[in-house]
Amino acid sequence: MANLSQVAMCECARELRAACRRPIDPVALDTLLGSLQLNFERVLDHPDGAMRWSEHGQRMRDNGRHVGALADFFANHTNALVVGIEELFNAFEMVRAVCKVGLDDDRPSPVVDDSPAAKFLRDLAKMPRA
């Protein structure tokens, strides 16, 4: 039987793929998922993992969908035929900046420095279109 973290990662990856209209480079996706694996394991392969998944699973799946849509957006604006590592990680950074999964309800949300994302989007808007 698969660990809860593995099940969760598969569900989030499925959402990411569903939201992305372009093909995704499998090595790039494996790299992104590999970078998240330890965090998924730490949170979900914990004695309270099932409770955590029931409380935050939908938001985590939604975040996967947001990453997929943003990665497709970035690929579209660079005329990339395939979503690669750069598009996936740029999308992930934007979603991660506002992700509240795993925060305690009584803790204040962290202050998000959105200047890198804002600069990225401004630079993207200046790119000539084909």
Mean pLDDT of 13-24: 97
Domain of residue 96 covers 4-126
Quickly count: other Cβ atoms within 10 Å of residue 62's Cβ: 16
CA dist 67 and 3 (Å) reads: 23
**Cα–chain center distance at 54:** 19
CA dist 105 and 47 (Å) reads: 19
CA dist 113 and 96 (Å) reads: 11
DSSP H helices in 1-130: 4-19, 26-44, 49-77, 85-98, 115-126
Domain count, the chain: 1
Q: What backbone torsions phi and psi does residue 23 show, to the nearest 5 degrees?
A: -65, 150
Task: Check: pTM over 0.85? Answer yes or no.
Answer: no
Distances from the Cα of 110 to the Cα of 6, 51, 95, angstroms: 27, 23, 14
Taking each helix axis as running N to C, give the angle between helix 26-44 and helix 4-19, from 0 to 180 degrees, rounded to the nearest 10: 140
Highest mean pLDDT among 74-88, 101-115, 116-130: 74-88
- What pLDDT, in 10s, does the model give residues 32-91? 999 999 999 998 998 999 999 999 999 999 999 999 999 999 999 889 999 999 999 999
